[in-house]
Amino acid sequence: AQSVTQLGSHVSVSEGALVLLRCNYSSSVPPYLFWYVQYPNQGLQLLLKYTTGATLVKGINGFEAEFKKSETSFHLTKPSAHMSDAAEYFCAVSERGGSYIPTFGRGTSLIVHP
Amino acid sequence: DAMVIQNPRYQVTQFGKPVTLSCSQTLNHNVMYWYQQKSSQAPKLLFHYYDKDFNNEADTPDNFQSRRPNTSFCFLDIRSPGLGDAAMYLCATSRDRRGGSYNEQFFGPGTRLTVL
């Protein structure tokens, strides 16, 4: 069975600083990988996804993530944080060749200080 | 724009009074999901439909039911809401279930349920 671990329920950065949100997965085969963002009182919005091909994936709002099979990781980064990036971020995985239902991590709240 | 719509955005009900939340989609997706999300937690899948095929999660209480009368609409019925059912309810869709881009989920804005 697959699982997702997001290290750190809260990450705090200063505006302009690097954002790094961590996601590790446990799966028998490399899964499909997703990052979603949720703003207060909103639904989830897809930031980026990895299905196949290039392991460095670029998403919306300047975010990117790199799939590292050897580390079973899919960390989310952004070079320079904006105040508007403050939100909840969820990593999700779905099993390649198996259940198509994504498994969500518990989420990481990104706090951006002026 | 193609989208997932949830109504109402905010719903207040009384303890034990049945309530129905609605979701509609213009994406023509085969799969529709209902999630419950409590504060600072990940969304918890309640059930999903693949076309007309209903799939209930093992730990979803019997108090929660769902209907999908056609491709575009899906309803969540809570027969006797308790205080513990107060949460954000998210509807999502995906194109199909073949994996990869096919199961990328598109979420509605959610309905926040308050139980008095």
The model's pLDDT over B92-108, given as tens digits with 9 standing for 90+, comes to 999 887 766 667 899 99
**Cβ contacts of A52 on chain B, cutoff 8 Å:** 100
Nearest CB partner across the interface for A32, out of B88, B99, B106 = B99
How many angstroms separate the CA atoms of B57 and B59, rounded? 6
The model's pLDDT over A35-52, given as tens digits with 9 standing for 90+, comes to 999 998 889 999 999 988
List the single residue in A with minimal CA-CA distance to B91.
Answer: A43
> Do B115 and B21 contact (CB within 8 A), yes or no?
no
- Coil/strand/helix, residue B73: strand
Interface contact flag, A104 B42, Cβ < 8 Å: yes
**For range A86-101, the mean pLDDT:** 86
Size of the A and B interface in Cβ pairs below 8 Å: 69
How many angstroms separate the CA atoms of B65 and B43, rounded? 17
* Neighbouring C-beta atoms of residue B115, cutoff 10 Å: 19
| Shortest distance, CA B42 to any CA of chain A (angstroms) | 5
| Shortest distance, CA B97 to any CA of chain A (angstroms) | 5
Task: Encode chain B (116 residues) as per-residue pLDDT tens digits.
Answer: 669 999 999 999 999 999 999 999 999 999 999 999 998 888 999 999 999 999 999 999 999 999 999 999 999 999 999 999 999 999 999 988 776 666 789 999 999 999 99
